[in-house]
């Protein structure tokens, strides 16, 4: 059961929660503090099980006809697994949320609960943002929320330009990744932003938001902004050359690599600056 829950949590995508949490710690000027340990543990298996387990429960119809599901792109679950996936989400997340409620300020908990509820209702009725064009994309801006609640939990003011920049980046990436699922989502009646706009319209949408994110990042760090703009342009070009669903699925692996590669540009600079005493938050 534990092995199955681990698979459902999609470890290859944990970088989106762990990386942001660690980056938020570094932005406070600390290479490491044990005060972050409970937040860091939460954004591993527990929170990713919440994101993807709930998604798999409510997307069974479209996942069953999606050839990319069943590997690193997401599990294909069986109906009999639904109850214990729900229990897995509850038992791994509720203790952390109770602890955070008792330990952190209301501002910190407001961001934590927004992070939790936005991801839960992305997939779950009655809100189910996934089936609401533009809200599906906008709700995924919450990948940036650790840049707000981690500093607040550690007693620092967030770097808001980083928060807004990553919010813009995240909502763009969501729609980019959804391009590959246009046919499956359309077939089962799920109207995502990508379904509404089509491939070409979606590429314009993501290009605008990735450009916005690069502007925000440029205020903080020029190399990061350039790396972000360059990688984003390359991803858009890959689908512009061939806008078939098959090609969108083929290039998905490069989208998965995006936060690893561009995140490293920011992370390496931060670590070196903190180590040599050149960074002051």
Residue 203 and residue 146: Cα distance in Å, rounded? 27
Residue 259 and residue 265: Cα distance in Å, rounded? 10
Residue 2 confidence class, pLDDT cut points 50, 70, 90: confident
- Model confidence at 65: pLDDT above 90: no
167, 39, 40: which is closest to 99 by C-alpha?
39
pLDDT of residue 280: 85
- How confident is the model over 108-163, as pLDDT tens digits? 999 999 999 999 999 999 999 999 999 999 999 999 999 999 999 999 999 999 99
82, 80, 88: which is closest to 58 by C-alpha?
82
Average pLDDT over residues 196-223: 98
Average pLDDT over residues 30-55: 97
pLDDT of residue 73: 60
Average pLDDT over residues 64-73: 65
Residue 132 and residue 134: Cα distance in Å, rounded? 6
Residue 189 and residue 130: Cα distance in Å, rounded? 11
164, 125, 162: which is closest to 141 by C-alpha?
164
Residue 275 and residue 103: Cα distance in Å, rounded? 29
pLDDT of residue 77: 86
- H-helix or E-strand containing 35? none
Percentage of the chain modeled with pLDDT above 90: 89
pLDDT of residue 70: 65
- Model confidence at 242: pLDDT above 90: yes
pLDDT of residue 191: 95
């Amino acid at each position: 059961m534990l092995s199955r829950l681990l698979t459902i949590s999609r470890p290859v995508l944990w970088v989106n929660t762990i990386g942001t949490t660690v980056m938020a710690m570094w932005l406070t000027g600390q290479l490491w503090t044990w005060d972050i340990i409970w937040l860091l543990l939460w954004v591993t298996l527990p929170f990713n099980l919440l994101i993807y387990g709930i998604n798999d429960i409510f997307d069974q119809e479209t996942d069953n006809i999606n050839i990319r599901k069943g590997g690193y792109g997401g599990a294909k679950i069986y109906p009999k697994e639904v109850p214990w996936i729900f229990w897995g989400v509850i038992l791994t997340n509720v203790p952390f949320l109770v602890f955070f409620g008792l330990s952190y300020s209301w501002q910190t908990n407001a961001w934590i609960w927004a992070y939790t509820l936005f991801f839960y209702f992305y997939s779950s009725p009655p809100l189910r943002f996934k089936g609401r064009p533009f809200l599906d994309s906008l709700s995924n801006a919450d990948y940036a929320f650790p840049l707000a609640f981690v500093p607040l939990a550690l007693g620092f003011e967030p770097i808001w330009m980083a928060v807004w920049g990553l919010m813009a980046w995240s909502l763009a990436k969501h729609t980019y990744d959804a391009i590959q699922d246009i046919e499956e989502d359309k077939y089962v009646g799920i109207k995502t932003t990508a379904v509404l706009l089509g491939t070409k319209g979606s590429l314009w949408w993501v290009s605008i938001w990735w450009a916005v994110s690069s502007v925000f990042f440029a205020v903080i760090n020029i190399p990061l902004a350039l790396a972000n703009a360059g990688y984003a342009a390359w991803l858009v070009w890959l689908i512009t050359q061939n806008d078939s669903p098959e090609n969108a699925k083929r290039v998905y692996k490069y989208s998965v690599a995006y936060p690893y590669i561009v995140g490293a540009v920011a992370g390496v600079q931060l670590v070196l600056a903190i180590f040599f005493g050149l960074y002051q938050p």
